Amino acid sequence: MRARELIQETFFRRTYIWIVHVIWLALYGVFYWLFLPDTPELGQFIFIWAGFFLALALSAGIFGDDIASGRICVLVTKPFWTGELYIYRLLGLSLQAAAHLVLAASLVLVLHAIMRKGSVDNLGVWLLASWLLFNTCAALSASLSIVVTRAFNSLLLLVLIVTGYFVMGLLTMYLRHEASTGALASFIRYPWPPFELLYKFAAGEWGQYALTVGKYSVTKNVACVIHSLMLTTAYGVIGILLLSRRQFSRVRD
Amino acid sequence: MGHDGEAETKTVECRRLTKVFRRLLASREKSVYALREVSLSVQRGQIVGLIGPNGAGKSTLLNLIAGLILPSEGHVAVCGHPARSIAARRGLGYMPEHPVFPGLYTARAILQYHGALLGLSSRAVSLQTDRSIEQLQLQEFIDRPASDFSQGMKQRLALAIAMMDDPQLLLLDEPSNGLDPIGIVQLRDLLKRLSSSGTAVVISSHRLGELEKLTSDYIFMHRGRIISFADRIAANRAGRLRVELVSNGPDIAARLLPASRVLDASDTELVIAIGDPEEVPDIVSHLATDGARIMSVLLERENIEEVFLRLCNEGTQP
């Protein structure tokens, strides 16, 4: 009962959430219709929109709204481990993303059947990568939401990620051989949401070409999936610790 | 609110609670002492009113009991368990001052949601929901989105949530905010019923008149300290004795009473300051014996507002 209610709440908590799903699905349709719909392009589009921007939109204020309004005070006085609140909400986001990606795949396949444009051969791998990216971004955003009130968690995450990649891009361009550039690149690549690793995983940029498995390297891909799940877990554990230890008080009267 | 109640009847026990708020990177001197060494206990079935001016520490005390914040020093126990523990929360119902509900949820869905958070079965949630609808007159509003509710309706719904699963302790922050007069009477009756069935209720409120109709147990707080337990001063609650005489009021006052106690003296009426109501028979007897012809006697005791103002004034004295 509790798990179901907390999971459902992630969808029903704000009116705009179902609108976001509809708009995002419409965007995939428009992209397929207007642009060359080969898997890499379509996959990249879904990877960024569903894996990153959807995570930001759905997790905006997931705890921050409750903290700002004081509603969290009622929730954390209920007799259950506070970590459950985090886990089920994150699970709710993850299930929404899974359902969203299934709908996205159905939409693309229907459009492909009607319009017969391009190829959708590796769409499944892109969707898996998108879901993994969504989970890491949602976990990080949810954890930020415990310390940043209202919906600023998503904005902060957007700024952090864009800035991180921008700085890394600049350093790679101008200071490629510096040790600090290598360290930053490693930092961006491993403890941050794994955009680059999952992109390579989905685009098949690892391993040698083989007739049976294309360019995929099973070992590296499994490692990439495990890395992504570990990051989600690590962000989640940080979030649970923050939520369990945080003190909630709206007024100091 | 005694310190001397038996341990097993204590629903809340606070020992030497101190809460200091300090901003990140701020110096120790800039710390705000919201509570200083507060000790109290609330017995089973007791209704206690927390009273004090803004900034007195009432909400901080409620938050500490609810486990929303941690004490800087001291200890809080709810139903014998440390506050904030799951066991303590099992016996707790909390109603915030400004309840907020998620946008798309109806009142029924919200009650079901909170019932589920309490770990109730769907059948128990359904029974609790029906009971809350009846107790708090929610029939008309139960299937409407709670975001459309007036403040009074939100308060009723928040109270219904706090009361789910019959908590042993109810913490209510300004529960009558926005309630209409009928709602206030219903709330009062409901809290009295809960109290008689053993639920302890702690209410923080600025509506002293309402509180006075509900309980005679108050905790007066000022600048983070408890400045008086009202049950201890109840017997000594200051008051005025109006004595209606046939004549010669000023003369009788001058002869028989210390000047400091005579608040007013007209020909037919004396107003005498009373510290302890038990003095009244002696004063009346003294006046009558020494020649005052008394027509009537009326004891006017301080109401809770006057007590509050007096205690605040005393609390602000150096």
pLDDT of the residue at A150: 86
The answer to whether B121 contacts A1, with C-beta atoms less than 8 Å apart, is: yes
- Is A79's CB within 8 Å of B119's CB? yes
- The three-point CA angle A74-A79-A85 to 5° equals 65
Cα three-residue angle A56-A196-A216, rounded to 5 degrees:
125
Task: Using alpha carbons, select from A118, A142, A114, A113 the residue that is nearest to residue A45.
Answer: A118
- Residues of chain B contacting A149 with CB distance shorter than 8 Å: none
Q: Which of B32, B64, B70, B104 to mutate to test the interface with A (most CBs of A within 10 A)?
A: B104
Strongest mean pLDDT among A11-15, A55-59, A72-76, B213-217: A55-59
Q: Looking at residue A51, what DSSP letter applies?
A: I
A227 neighbors A132 (Cβ within 8 angstroms): no
Residue-wise pLDDT for A19-55, tens only, equals 999 999 999 999 988 886 676 778 889 999 999 999 9
pLDDT tier at B238 (50, 70, 90 boundaries)? low
Question: Predicted confidence band at A208 (pLDDT cuts at 50, 70, 90)?
Answer: low
ipTM of the shown complex: 0.87
Q: Which among A15, A71, A76 is the nearest to B104, CB-wise?
A: A15
The mean pLDDT of A160-169, rounded to a whole number, is 88
In chain B, what residues touch A248 (CB-CB under 8 Å)? 63, 68-69
b/e map of B173-183 (b: 16 or more CB within 10 Å)? Answer: bbbbbbbeeeb
Q: List chain B residues with CB under 8 Å of A70.
A: 96-98, 100
**Residues A243-252, mean pLDDT to the nearest whole number:** 77
Q: What is the pLDDT of residue A118?
A: 81
pTM of the predicted protein model: 0.85
Dist. CA B281–CA B301, nearest whole Å: 15
What does the pLDDT average to over A61-81? 93
**A4: chain B residues, CB-CB within 8 Å:** 116
User: Confidence band (pLDDT; 50, 70, 90) for B8?
Assistant: low
Mutate to test the interface with B, among A10, A73, A82, A243 (most CBs of B within 10 A): A73
pLDDT per residue as tens digits for the range A169-194: 888 888 777 777 777 778 777 888 89
Name the minimum distance, in Å, from the CA of B23 to any CA of chain A.
13
pLDDT at B42: 94
Q: What is the pLDDT of residue B304?
A: 73
Lowest-confidence region among A34-38, B63-67, B170-174, B242-246: A34-38
The answer to whether A140 touches A157, Cβ cutoff 8 Å, is: yes
- Indicate if the pLDDT at residue A152 is higher than 60: yes
Domains of chain A: which residue ranges? 2-245
3-state secondary structure chain B: CCCCCCHHHEEEEEEEEEEEECCCCCCHHHCEEEEEEEEEEEECCCEEEEECCCCCCHHHHHHHHHCCCCCCEEEEEECCEECCCHHHHHCEEEECCCCCCCCCCEHHHHHHHHHHHCCCCHHHHHHHHHHHHHHCCCCCCCCCEHHHCCHHHHHHHHHHHHHCCCCCEEEEECCCCCCCHHHHHHHHHHHHHHHHCCCEEEEECCCHHHHHHHCCCEEEEECCEEEEEHHHHHCCCCEEEEEEECCCHHHHHHHHCCHHHEEEECCCEEEEEECCHHHHHHHHHHHHHCCCCEEEEEEEECCHHHHHHHHHHHHHCC
Checking if the pLDDT of A92 tops 90, the result is yes
Minimal Cα–Cα distance from A4 to chain B, Å?
9
Taking only residues 56 to 85 of chain A, the set having a beta carbon closer than 8 angstroms to any beta carbon of chain B reads: 69-71, 73-81
To the nearest whole number, what is the mean pLDDT of chain A? Answer: 88
- B298-318 pLDDT per residue, tens: 988 777 777 777 777 775 554
| d(CA B238, nearest CA chain A) in Å | 28
* Whether B125 and A12 lie within 8 Å, measured CB to CB: no
